Structure formats: C-alpha cells, structure tokens
C-alpha cells in the first residue's frame, strides 16, 4: 500500500499553500497530493473568466506536471477520498485504492449552498465552484440569450459580469435591499449597482 509522510487532500489554495509550507521545512519527506478533480491545480477565482472565455484554457492552471515534480510530490487526479481510518492512518479512495499516511491534511474546501427555494431542485440550474461547473456554464451560455443569477454576493456579481461579457442579458436577483450586502454600505453598493446596470445588467433586490 502506498505510504506518505504527508497526505494532502485537495489541490486548491489551501492544499498548495500547505505543500509549499511543508517543503520549506521538510525537503525530503514524501508528500502525496490528491484531488477528486480531473485537472491540474487551479484557482476557483479564475472561473468567472473561464465562463466568458476572458482567460485562455492553457492559462487556467496554477501548477503543471513539471512544477509538481519540482516539489517532489506524488499528484493524483480523479482521486476522491471517501473514508478515513484514523486509528490505522489509512484512507480509502472511491476507486477502492487505499493509502497510508503519517500526517493527513483535509484541504477539501466548501460546496455551494443551495437556498431552500421551492421548485429549485426540479429546475435546470448551474453553480460555479469547480472548473467543470465553469466549462458547463460556458457551454450553456453559448446557446443562451439571457440568464438569471441568484445572489448578489462576490461570486454572483462576478459571474453576472462575465455572463454579460459572454453576450447574455443578465438579471441578478438579491433577497436583501442592496448588492454585495455585508461588503459595502448602501452608498457604495448603490454606485456598484449603477455601474453594473450601465453594462446591461438589471439588478432586482
Ligand atoms: C467563482 C469563484 C470566485 C472566487 N473569487 C475569489 C476572489 O476573487 N478572491 C478571493 O479571495 N476568493 C475568491 N473565491 C474564493 C476562493 O476561491 C476560496 O476561498 C478558495 O478557493 C478556498 O480554497 P481551499 O483550498 O480551502 O478550497 P477549494 O478551492 O474549495 O478546494 C478544495 C479542493 O478539494 C477537492 N476535494 C473536495 N472534496 C474532496 C474529496 N473527498 N477527495 C478529494 N478531493 C476533494 C475539491 O475538488 C477542490 O479541488 C472565489 C471562489 C469562487 C468559487
């Protein structure tokens, strides 16, 4: 069974920061970095630009095979962790493969929260959290004329801006009385809402 001194689950910001920090202190210890995704590490912050094709596909990734090799890390893509046995320091992947570790870091991030809206689960919709989500949304946007974005938070507004750049008429729906609630006061968010409205977005709050 493959054994690592450090097993990092998740190859996004937290996982890659941990990788760099471990290597700064321990040049020799074996590191395995796994992700359930079938891609090299990328930052979710780039995903809105993937939707509007403002970024080239080859510029999406934070690290390629050579850079990972430079950190002397064993990188496994499409490797979803499904169980941990802390007593025996073993994990199991969805594929059935087992891995042994000395130290385990779960850098598995977050998932989009779906609001309790009646009928939502029966309606085709997108979320924007992974590269696969962004590629699906980009494809759907190519055949669409308009989109409704639920939520005027940072990700919603960023998605709305890029759907608009992709040529769609976009309406943002926000439950509270201003865009970017929690980030800006009423005056500042009013200015931002005006700018968004001037680039063909309507905002309903
Ligand atoms: C569209 C979008 C735009 C954003 N823009 C900004 C921005 O402009 N500025 C900013 O500061 N922040 C932004 N963020 C937030 C930022 O991306 C997150 O705070 C950051 O990515 C969190 O990093 P993380 O490594 O903790 O988790 P994540 O980035 O969520 O990565 C977790 C990784 O673990 C993997 N994983 C999960 N479960 C398993 C499992 N069971 N087995 C194997 N792998 C697993 C996931 O597939 C994923 O690759 C944005 C987020 C999104 C979605």
The tens digit of pLDDT for each residue in 20-40 reads 999 999 999 999 999 999 999
- Between the CA of 198 and the centroid of ligand 1 the distance, in Å, is 31
Q: Which band of pLDDT confidence, cut at 50, 70 and 90, is reported for residue 1?
A: confident
pTM listed for this prediction: 0.93
Distance of CA 61 to the CA centre of its chain: 12
pLDDT single digits (tens) 194-203: 998 887 677 7
Give the residue whose CA is nearest to atom 17 of ligand 1.
Answer: 44
If we measure between CA atoms, which residue out of 113, 130, 122, 103 comes closest to residue 35? 130
The percent of residues in the chain predicted with pLDDT above 90, rounded, is 90
Average pLDDT over residues 78-87: 98
Going from the C-alpha of 124 to that of each of 58, 164, 186, 191, 200, the distances in angstroms are 29, 20, 33, 32, 24
Tell me how far apart the alpha carbons of residues 26 and 195 are, in angstroms, rounded to a whole number.
49
What 8-state DSSP symbol labels residue 112? P
Ranges in the chain annotated CATH 3.50.50.60: 3-106, 120-199
DSSP percent split of the chain into helix, strand, coil, nearest 5: 35, 25, 40
- CATH code of domain 120-199: 3.50.50.60
- Quote the pLDDT of residue 202: 74
Contacts of residue 11, defined as CB under 8 A and 6 or more positions apart, other chains included, come to: 33, 34, 35, 37, 40, 41, 75, 107
- Between the CA of 187 and the centroid of ligand 1 the distance, in Å, is 31
List ligand 1's pocket residues with C-beta within 6 A: 9-15, 34-37, 44-45, 47-48, 80-81, 107-110, 128-129, 155, 158
- Between the CA of 10 and the centroid of ligand 1 the distance, in Å, is 9
Average pLDDT over residues 126-151: 96
Domain 3-106 listed as CATH 3.50.50.60 = yes
* 162 burial level (CB within 10 Å; 0-12, 13-18, 19+): buried
């Amino acid at each position: 069974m493959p054994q690592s001194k450090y097993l990092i689950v998740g190859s996004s910001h937290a996982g890659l920061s941990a990788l760099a920090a471990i290597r700064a202190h321990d040049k020799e210890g074996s590191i395995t970095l796994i992700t359930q995704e079938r891609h090299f590490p990328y930052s979710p912050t780039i995903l809105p630009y993937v939707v509007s094709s403002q970024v080239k596909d080859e510029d999406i990734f934070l690290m390629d095979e050579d850079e990972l090799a430079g950190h002397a890390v064993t990188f496994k893509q499409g490797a979803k962790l499904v169980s941990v046995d802390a007593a025996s320091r073993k994990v199991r992947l969805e594929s059935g493969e087992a891995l042994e570790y000395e130290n385990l870091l779960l850098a598995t991030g977050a998932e989009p929260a779906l609001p309790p809206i009646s009928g939502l689960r029966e309606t085709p919709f997108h979320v924007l959290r992974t590269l696969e989500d962004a590629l699906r949304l980009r494809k759907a946007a190519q055949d669409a004329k308009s989109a409704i974005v639920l939520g005027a938070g940072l990700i919603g507004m960023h998605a709305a801006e890029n759907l608009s750049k992709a040529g769609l008429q976009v309406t943002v729906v926000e439950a509270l009385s201003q865009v970017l609630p929690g980030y800006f006061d009423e005056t500042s968010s009013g200015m931002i809402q005006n700018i968004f409205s001037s680039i063909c977005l309507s905002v309903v709050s």
